[in-house]
Structure 1
Amino acid sequence: MCSIGEMARDSGLSVSALRFYDRGGVLIPAWVDPVSGYRWYGSAQLEEAQLLARLRRAGMPLVDIRLVLAGWSSADTDLVQKLLQAHLHRLELGLSDARSEFSTLRALLERRENPMTSLRTAAVRLAVSGPELAAALDTVRFAASTDPELPMLGGVLFDIEGDGLHVVATDRYRMAVARTGITGYGGIRLQVIVPVPLADAMRALLSGKEPVQFAVDGDRVTLETGDRQTAGQCLDHDFPDYRRLVRLPAGRRALVDVSAFQEAVKTGPVRASEARKPDGVSFDLSVLRVTADGTVTICEDGDNDENDVAVNREFLLQSLAAGARDQLILEFGAPTAPLAIRRRDTEDTFSMLMPVRLEN
C-alpha cells in the first residue's frame, strides 16, 4: 500500500486530483482509514494512475477515461484501442477546425491592415500535376448541381490551402471530394468556385503528363498547360462548408470489388422512391445491407431491416465509376447518415450519398 502523497508523486497526479477522481468514481483507493479518512492505494493502482494522468493530459473526457480504465484492467485491448482512436480522431478534427479558423483570422487581420485589399485582389499562381488534377476533376464532376435555383452549387469548388488543393462538387443529394498536391503557394486559404462549363474546359486541356499552372486574379481563373490556356470568371457565391458535412462518425466498413458490385447493383432489385428529383422525376433505389461477414447485399422489396441504407441507384453507380479503383470501401453509419464511398489508399478522396427514407 502507498499513501496518497506517494501515489501523487509517482503518478504525476496532484493530491487534489486524486481526491477528485476518488469522488468521481474514476480511481478509487484500495482502502480508506475510517477514522482519519486518509486514502491508501494498492501498488497495482499505480499503473492505472499513470495511465489516467496521460489520458487527462491528452484531453480525454472522464466518461471515456472510465471505459479505458475498465478495458485496461480487464485486458480488453480492442476496447482500449477503439477509445484511443476515437479520441485521436476528435483531436484531429479539432485541430482542422482550429487551422481553418486561424486561417480566416489571418485573412481578416490582413484585410484590417490593408483595407483596400480583398481576399481575391492579389494574383495567386500555383503549379499542379496535370494527371492528378484531371483525376480529381473526374472524381467530383458527377456530383455537380444542375439546379438553376442553386447557382452556388453550379460549379466545382477549388479550395487552396497550404500544399494542397481540394476540389469539391455537390448537389445536396451527393458530394464528392478529391485532393491533389500543389507547389508554389504558401498564402492564406483561398476558395473559388469554377463554373461547370469552365471546369469541363479545364479538364479537356489535361491530356498530357506535364504540370499545369492554375491562377486566380480577382474574379478570374486561368489554367495553362504548354501553349494552351482556358480562362473565365469564377462564380460570385459562397460554397457550403463541406468540411463540416464530411465529419461522419466511424461506421461499418465493407470492402467491395467494384466490377462485381456494379453488376449486382445494375441487375439487383430496386424500389421506387416516393421522393423525386428536382425535375419532378421519380428514381430507383438500391437498398443496401452489410451482412455479418462484411458482404454488401442488395435487398429485395419487403425485406426490411432497420440498418438498411437506401440510396439513389443511378447516383451509386456514378459514384462507383468515379472512384476509379478496382476495390472501394463502403462506409455505413446510421440509416439516416450518408453512405461514404472511399478509396483504400487515401482518406482525402471520397464521395457521399444522402440516404432516402424508406416508407413502411
Structure 2
Amino acid sequence: MESDLRSIGELARDSGLSVSALRFYDGADVLAPARVDPQTGYRWYAPGQLADARLLARLRRVGLPLADIRAVLGAAPGTGAARRVVDAHGRRLEDGLTDARRELSLIRRLIDQRESPVATAAEHRFTVPARELADALDAVRFAVGSDPGLPVLSGVLFDLDGGLLRLVATDRYRMALAELPVTVDPEADGSDRSDGSDRSAADASAADASAADASAAAIVPTALADAVRALLGSGSEHAELTLGAGAVRIETGGHRIEGAALDHDYPDYRALVRLDPVHQVGLPAAELRDAVRSAATGSLPSGPQGTDCEVTVLTVDADGRLTVDAPGVGPAAGAVRVAVNRDFLLEALPATGPGQLVLELGGPVAPLAIRTPGRPGTYSILMPVRLPA
C-alpha cells in the first residue's frame, strides 16, 4: 500500500544517505524507488528498501566503487557473492595501508637526508640463495625496457622488503615479478660500534626488529644485472648482496661485482599487480605454447607509438574451457577473453618453466596474469590489446 511507502526525505533521514545521494543511486541503477509519481516525479521507497539503503550508506563510507556497490546490492542471497566483493575490497584497503606505511618510511628517510645532508646513507646487506636469485633474474629479464626515452625502465628493480627480495621489470606493455627469501644482516645499517663492545640483549632485539623491517630499493642497470646472472653460475650456494648509497654489490664464490644503481625513482608497481580475475585456468605450459604458435593471429596497433603487432586472443567460455583464437573470432555468450601481443606471450611462457601454469583473465581491458603454482610471488603480467568494436 502507498501508505507504507517512505518518501525520499524519510528514507534519507532513516538511512543516513542524503536526498541527492538517493537520486544519484537511482540514476545509476543501484537503488531504484518502488514508485515514482508520474505527475511530480517524486520518489517513494518500499519498507524493505531501508535495509538496502543503510547497507549502501556503509558501503559508501568504506569507499567501495560504484560497480562493486551494484554487485553487492544485486547479489543473490545465499551465494556468498556479496561477501566476496566486500572481502576483496578489504584486501585492497589493507594493501593500500601497507603501501602507505612503506612510503611514509621512505619519506622520513628522505626528510632525514634533507635535514642532514652530510649523514652517511645506510647500506643493507643480505644473503640470498644463489640458485633462487638466478631463477628470479631469468623470470624477469624478458620484460626489461629498452626505450631510450624511458631510462628508468632500463634495468631490474631490486626491492628489499624485510625478509623478501622482489625483482621487478617492465617495459610498460608487460611486467614480470619474482621474489625470494633473504637473510638480512642486522649489523649492516650504516653504523659501526667503534668501542668493540658486544651488543646488549636490548640492542640485539632492536637490531633484529630493524632487520625484519629493512627496506631498500635499487634499479640495477641491465648490463650489471646480466653480469650478476653470469656470476651466479659459479656454483656457490649463497650470494651476499649490498644495496645502498646508490650502489649495488654482489659477492659469491669468491668473486665480486659492483656498480652504480640507476638514479631514478622506479614507478609504483604494487597497485598494478592487484588483479581481480574472473577466471583462473590451469594447464601445462607446453600445451599453451603449442596452441599459441599454431593459432591464427591478427595485426593490431599495440606497440610503442602505435606500431602494429601480431595479436592472440585467449578466450574462456562459460564452462571454464580455454581456447586460443584470432581477433576476428567472435566470442560465445558468457565468454571472457583478452587479446595480447603474441610475441610477448611466448616470451613470458619460458619464465614459468616446463610444468604447469595458471592463467588469470579479468576481461578485455584487464591485464592477463601468468602464474606458476607454488610460486605465488613469481609471475608475469601482459597488458591487453584493445580489440576493435
Q: Are 1:332 and 2:358 matched, yes or no?
A: no
Deviations 1:302-328 (A, max 9, x none): 213495321111110111111225222
Counterpart residue number, 2:342:
313
Give, in whole Å, the separation in 1 of the partners of 2:303 and 2:129. 39
Provide, for residues 86-127 of structure 1, a one-character-per-residue CA deviation record: whole Å limited to 9, x for no partner.
133223222222222232233135335633237xx3332111
RMSD: 3.4
Distance 2:16 2:302 in 1: 54
What secondary structure, in the 3-state scheme, does the structure 2 residue paired with 1:197 have?
helix
Conservation of the 8 A alpha-carbon contact between 2:303 and 2:309? yes
Contact 2:144 2:169 in 1 (8 A): yes
- Aligned to 2:80, what secondary structure does the other structure show? helix
Q: CA deviation at 1:266?
A: 0.7
- Aligned-partner Cα distance in 1 for 2:130–2:329: 47
Q: Within 5 Å, which residues of 2 pair with 1:1-360? A: 76-111=78-113, 114-117=116-119, 121-185=121-185, 186=211, 188-207=214-233, 208=235, 210-277=237-304, 282-305=308-331, 307-324=336-353, 326-360=355-389
Task: Say whether the 8 Å CA contact 2:313–2:337 is kept in structure 1.
Answer: yes
Change (3 A) 1:70 1:339: closer
Q: Render the CA deviation track for 1:155-180: whole Å, top value 9, x for unaligned.
A: 10111121111111111111101111
Task: Assess if the C-alpha contact under 8 Å between 1:170 and 1:176 holds in 2.
Answer: yes
What is the distance in 1 between the residues matched to 2:177 and 2:71? 35
2:387 maps to amino acid: L
Post-superposition CA distance 1:265-307 (Å, at most 9, x none): 01111112234456x9743111111112222211245213495
TM-score by length of structure 2 reads: 0.70
What's the CA shift string for 1:181-240, capped at 9, x where partnerless? Answer: 111252653211111111111111223351110013522211110211222221122211
Question: Could you list the runs of 5+ residues in structure 2 that have no partner in the other structure?
Answer: 1-11, 23-50, 186-210
Query: Which stretch shifts more, 332-341 or 258-267?
Result: 332-341
Task: Output one character per residue of 1:240-274: Cα deviation in whole Å (capped at 9) or x when no partner.
Answer: 11112223334322222211111000111111223
Residue identity in the other structure for 1:215: T
| Aligned partners of 2:166 and 2:180 also within 8 Å | yes
Aligned-residue offset at 1:330: 1.3
Distance in 2 separating the partners of 1:197 and 1:81: 48
Q: Secondary structure at the match of 1:255?
A: strand
Aligned counterparts of 1:258 and 1:89: Cα–Cα separation in 2: 30
Amino acid at match of 2:85: L
1:9 alignment partner in structure 2: none
Gaps of 5+ in 1: 1-18, 26-47
Equivalent AA in structure 1 for residue 151 of structure 2: P
Percent identity between matched residues is: 42
Which deviates the most, 82-91 or 104-113? 104-113
Q: Aligned equivalents of 1:77 and 1:270: distance in 2?
A: 39
> What corresponds to 2:6 in structure 1?
none
Q: Is the 8 A contact 1:127 1:184 kept in 2?
A: yes
